Structure 1
Amino acid sequence: MAEFSTLNFFQNIGFVFFFYILLRKQVVLITEPSAVIFIILGFSFSFVWLMYGYSNYTLIIFLHLLTFFLSINFGAAILRLFRMQSLNNTINSLKFCNKGFVFFTWCCFFVVLIANLYHINKAGIAILSESVDEAKTMGFSGGGGLVRRINWSLLYFNFISLFVLYRLKRERSFLVGCLTLALLLLLSGSKGAIISILLLVSVTLASPRFFKGNRRVLNYKLIFFGGVGILFAGFIYFLSSTDVSSALSKLYLRFLYFGDVNLYLANSYVRLSFESLDLFSLLNYIFNPLLGFFRLADYYTPIGVQLVHTFNAGRASVDGDFGPNLSFYATAILFFGDYFGLIFSSGIGVFFGAVRTYALQVKVSRLFRYCLSAYAYFMLYSLVLDPLMFIGRVYDSIILIGTCYLLFFSIRLVMPKK
């Protein structure tokens, strides 16, 4: 692999700043998803530049990123012209009265809490294990897979709901609920736990309808806690490193490795092995998580894992059953080709810009709708990192949040009316 240097670091900063210039009108808070993605994609492109320099492959990736960022602005402009009337009417039937929404939120909270306590009792606390990464890997067995699905969907939505209620009512019970969910995330051993919490807070505070305070001061606070999150990630790496410098190197590499899919995507043999993928293949991968959840079909091996296995063909060992996230531009290139894939990247950008604009303009008086829209904006982070993973999480969210929704109404039906 190419050698890292101080020049590489400043190149990273330069690429991040360039993408910020393209997206600055869509960034209100420094830790909201639109801000985090230009940082992540800046490091991803730095990885491509470091590995392949000025080449045809580097140019293709740059075109996909440029198309994506410009399309975000286009999607936001389209929704502003649309005035969102039809969107608002679509979700009118999901509104709650305030008291009903509070009860529904606590139903979700206890589902998340009981599931995580059960998993901790079975598998232990990941962050206290000798090998955090190994503990997280083993955590998928013994019902851990379902708990992961709950944490990837219902927990995040529940955190947003509790945080919104705390901001509106200022009752300590909601704050305790938020802190409990944050603790569960930290105990899971996730290196990005604090960053995820900041994203959840940011998607609720980004709306001018919800937060009308000094945004500059708020950004300073978010930057501080973002730094704490990076230090926490560094601490996780330190637990498996020999010294501080080794942990810092791993942390820096982790940011660069948001672009690690390019190690495989740029390989001509790997590309030829996946040239049969097309639109119909993509549809199969889109519906497979739903069919797999109901045991109507076997889960497909993630394409990231397939890329690694193909790349390692003929070698003595394969690095487990894990692979890189298939970012939106990698998905576009694999399923549609270098240049037709630009249409897919553009579509992802338009969707991102439209959802973000909608989320920031929803009326706070509609609590359930407001929390759903904030959660949808939070989910866009995974859309950029891996669209196929995003589809799976959308299914999980619909099934799990919908189940709690039905549970809530079932309880309300049997409760005596006052």
Structure 2
Amino acid sequence: MESLVSAINIEQFGLFFFIIFSIKLFFIRRKLFTIFDPIVYILLSCSLSFSLIICLYEISYIQISDFIQFILCDLVFFIALFIFVNGKTKLYKKINNELFNTSLSQYSFHIMFVIVLLFNSIMFLVKGFPLFSPDPSISKVTLYTGGFGIVKRINLSLLLVVFVYYLLFFLHNKKITILIPLFILFGILLSTGSKSAFLPVIFSIPFIMLKIADFKINKRLKKNALRLVVVTLLYVIFIYSRDSGEVVLKLITRMLAFGDTYYFYYVYNIADKLSLDFYSYLYMFVSPILTLFHLGNYNVPLGSLLLEEAIGLEPNGFGPNSQFIFESRVFFGYVGSILYCFTLGFVFSNLRNILIKYLFSTTSYLYSSLVISILALMYLIPIELQLYLMITSDIIIFVFLFSLVGTLFSRFRKSNG
């Protein structure tokens, strides 16, 4: 991506991003809970990609037909969000003040915490800590190789839901001992060396604020959330740029990287080379469950297939995120992609509305943690739908299994108590 930095006008790119992001944020601002709402990240990602596409078109890197298709897809997706996402005023009125029911969930989440800690401890003992390696960006990728793929799936799913559970439990019950597993889980996140691992944690905060009906806690959470973002940004800068002179270049490169999928797709003219049928799209929904239990073949991400067509790289799972506009074009073609993007925005908005409504009505720690985790991960839907499907299915399966184990353990203790 460094070569792309020199090919486009960076000042122009920044101006386009500021205008596009500001316009989108202005129209949808009343739909947001806080600045940490996952929708803000979606607008940020889409605006950066939109800005890159404009710059690429200006230097004749992409065709006019592809340029128009991208604009229409981005526009209809945003229109769907604007129309169908419920406003925050309407949602705040549905907050339930009843106490959470903790009779079932404690054993289940304690068991899940032990599983997360045990598997990560074994992995770190064998592979080391990416945070302290000479090149954390490489170490974080190779960390889960050599038979530790299951640990990655545990970290993507269980770690988040257990973290949300303990944070909810601590805020509601004020038990200082709960801080111990919270700090351990946060330490595991730090040790993986992955900056993206913090995004779901940050995005879970506004929904936790909604669930906890103590406004003093809400104010304190807002301050702590801001501190968390600042610390995370400093951490990312430190890890990914040991040489302070490269910070600006790497920041610009990272901003352009939000549109790397479209760069490879449009500039390398992949539209006629990469096309998949509707059955492949449906398989994307069931493959995460099938592969978890080794009942189906691993579905290579679209980003990996894209790099294979563009530069001949073997499809080994490595590649850019399969952004929704690229995904829609691959599965549904030029015209169908526009309808797909509007449908995706419609489904995203209504799923979010349903989950938030359920979050306010449930009085269970278990279900609250489950729903908040799925909500916090929704930023992945337009960015990497296949990854979202995998993580959410893992969360539901793992929570169900360990809840069953926790229930049996609880009954066993009662019968022997």
**Shorter-chain TM-score range:** 0.7 to 0.9
Aligned to 2:413: 415
Amino acid at match of 1:336: F
Shift of 1:77: 4.8
Structure 1 position 23 matched with structure 2 position 20: no
Structure 1 position 155 matched with structure 2 position 153: no
- From the superposition, tell whether residues 39 and 223 of structure 1 become closer, same or farther in structure 2 (CA, over 3 Å): farther
Amino acid at match of 1:248: V
Alpha carbons 1:22, 1:70 under 8 Å: kept? no
- What TM-score do you get using the length of structure 1 for normalisation? 0.86
- From the superposition, tell whether residues 42 and 300 of structure 1 become closer, same or farther in structure 2 (CA, over 3 Å): same
Aligned to 2:44: 39
Match of 1:9 among 8, 14, 37: 14
Aligned to 2:329: 333
> Secondary structure of the equivalent of 2:194?
coil
Aligned to 1:103: 107
Once the two structures are superposed, residues 28-49 of structure 1 have per-residue CA deviations (whole angstroms, 9 ceiling, x without a partner) of 1111211221112211212222
- From the superposition, tell whether residues 269 and 47 of structure 1 become closer, same or farther in structure 2 (CA, over 3 Å): closer
Amino acid at match of 2:257: Y
- 5 Å-filtered alignment, 1:10-409, equals 10-53=15-58, 55-77=64-86, 97-205=101-209, 207=210, 210=213, 212-213=215-216, 219=222, 221-239=224-242, 243-267=243-267, 269-275=269-275, 277-313=276-312, 322-361=318-357, 362-363=360-361, 365-409=363-407
Aligned length: 400
Alpha carbons 2:202, 2:229 under 8 Å: kept? yes
Alpha carbons 1:67, 1:345 under 8 Å: kept? yes
Shift of 1:166: 0.9
CA distance in 1, matches of 2:268, 2:134: 39
- From the superposition, tell whether residues 221 and 19 of structure 1 become closer, same or farther in structure 2 (CA, over 3 Å): farther
CA distance in 2, matches of 1:228, 1:263: 31
CA distance in 2, matches of 1:77, 1:63: 23
CA distance in 1, matches of 2:169, 2:205: 12
> Secondary structure of the equivalent of 1:324?
coil
- What TM-score do you get using the length of structure 2 for normalisation? 0.87
> Secondary structure of the equivalent of 2:195?
coil
Kindly, what percent of the aligned residue pairs are identical? 21
CA distance in 2, matches of 1:214, 1:38: 28
> Secondary structure of the equivalent of 2:207?
helix
Shift of 1:305: 0.8
Shift of 1:318: 6.8
Aligned to 1:92: none
CA distance in 2, matches of 1:228, 1:319: 35
- From the superposition, tell whether residues 48 and 245 of structure 1 become closer, same or farther in structure 2 (CA, over 3 Å): farther
CA distance in 1, matches of 2:328, 2:71: 13
Shift of 1:24: 1.3
> Secondary structure of the equivalent of 2:34?
coil
Shift of 1:177: 1.8
> Secondary structure of the equivalent of 1:295?
coil
> Secondary structure of the equivalent of 1:141?
coil
* Mean Cα deviation higher: 60-69 or 161-170: 60-69
| Unaligned residue ranges in structure 1 (runs of 5+) | 89-94
Shift of 1:321: 5.3
Once the two structures are superposed, residues 290-338 of structure 1 have per-residue CA deviations (whole angstroms, 9 ceiling, x without a partner) of 222222232132221111011114xxx7797521100122211111123
Alpha carbons 1:23, 1:69 under 8 Å: kept? no
Shift of 1:211: 5.2
RMSD: 3.0
- From the superposition, tell whether residues 52 and 219 of structure 1 become closer, same or farther in structure 2 (CA, over 3 Å): farther
Alpha carbons 2:100, 2:363 under 8 Å: kept? no
Once the two structures are superposed, residues 150-170 of structure 1 have per-residue CA deviations (whole angstroms, 9 ceiling, x without a partner) of 010011111111111111001
CA distance in 2, matches of 1:288, 1:279: 14
Shift of 1:219: 4.7
Shift of 1:15: 1.7
Shift of 1:360: 3.4
- From the superposition, tell whether residues 194 and 153 of structure 1 become closer, same or farther in structure 2 (CA, over 3 Å): closer
Amino acid at match of 1:298: N
- From the superposition, tell whether residues 176 and 14 of structure 1 become closer, same or farther in structure 2 (CA, over 3 Å): farther
- From the superposition, tell whether residues 188 and 52 of structure 1 become closer, same or farther in structure 2 (CA, over 3 Å): same
> Secondary structure of the equivalent of 1:200?
helix
> Secondary structure of the equivalent of 1:261?
helix
CA distance in 2, matches of 1:273, 1:130: 39
Shift of 1:188: 0.1
- From the superposition, tell whether residues 208 and 374 of structure 1 become closer, same or farther in structure 2 (CA, over 3 Å): closer
